[in-house]
Amino acid sequence: MIEFDELHGKLVLKLVYYGPALSGKTTNLLSLHDRLQQEGRGELMLLDTTEDRTIYFDLLPFFYVAPSGFKIKLKVYTVPGQVRHDATRKAVLQRADAVVFVADSRISQMAVNAESFANLEQNLTLVGLDVEKLPLVVQFNKRDLPDLVSEAELREIWGPTGLPVFMASALQGQGVLETFQAAVEGVFKSMDQKLGLQQRYQVDQKAFVQSMVKTI
């Protein structure tokens, strides 16, 4: 977590969208930002370059206040997909509380997806995070394009991992909210185990998730 201030009842959490270049990480955040209620979202900071859509990160802050007064902020980042920016990816992953891995559904991109996921596992280890314990959601994006690996095949491959897997077309807004909600639920359960959010701070899981995923 980025910050936990028990004295002032404040918690700042970090969700990172990870994946290969041009898999749709930024499009996910743009779509998410468009669909969430204005009072529940902050300013979207986007950095474009000619080499990679997001050379550093996107920042999308959300706020939640429990009836007890305990405050939670959730920050959502993306990392640059190109290998040359691996140092930046490590920096963004530090103190992450959950990760959404955005993969490209096209058959031609399966090897790239595998390479990127291996890179994610390696970088999580390097920054001191346990991939077995960190909430992780997988999204197969670009389902609106041809040359796709079938959903049945993807679920057969990823089913044994036990990870939540979503099909999506971020460009069309399909599967974006569902992916995000699964990540938010994973973050809450993880933090509840660590900090006792429900028992100690009266943070209701359903209310928390609904506040984060409240749409226009």
pLDDT of residue 215: 72
Which residue type is seen at 2? I
Q: For the ranges 47-56, 121-130, 137-146, 148-157, which has the lowest average pLDDT?
A: 47-56
Question: What are the pLDDT digits (tens) for 9-26?
Answer: 999 999 999 999 999 998
HEC string of the chain equals CCEEECCCCEEEEEEEEECCCCCCHHHHHHHHHHHECHHHCCCCECCCCCCCCCCCCCEEEEEEECCCCCEEEEEEEECCCCHHHHHHHHHHHCCCCEEEEEEECEHHHHHHHHHHHHHHHHHHHHCCCCCCCCCEEEEEECCCCCCECCHHHHHHHHHHHCCCEEECECCCCECHHHHHHHHHHHHHHHHHHHHCHHHHHCCCHHHHHHHHCCEC
Closest to 184 (Cα-Cα) out of 207, 212, 159, 156:
212
Specify the pTM.
Answer: 0.93
Domain count, the chain: 1
Question: What are the pLDDT digits (tens) for 179-206?
Answer: 999 999 999 999 999 999 999 999 999 9
Question: How much is the average pLDDT of 26-48?
Answer: 77
pLDDT confidence band for 55 (50 / 70 / 90): very low
Question: What are the pLDDT digits (tens) for 135-183?
Answer: 999 999 999 999 999 999 999 999 999 999 999 999 999 999 999 999 9
Question: What are the pLDDT digits (tens) for 60-110?
Answer: 677 899 999 999 999 998 887 777 778 888 988 999 999 999 999 999 999
pLDDT of residue 42: 72
- Domain that residue 60 falls in: 3-212
Question: How much is the average pLDDT of 33-51?
Answer: 69
| CATH number of the domain residue 72 falls in | 3.40.50.300
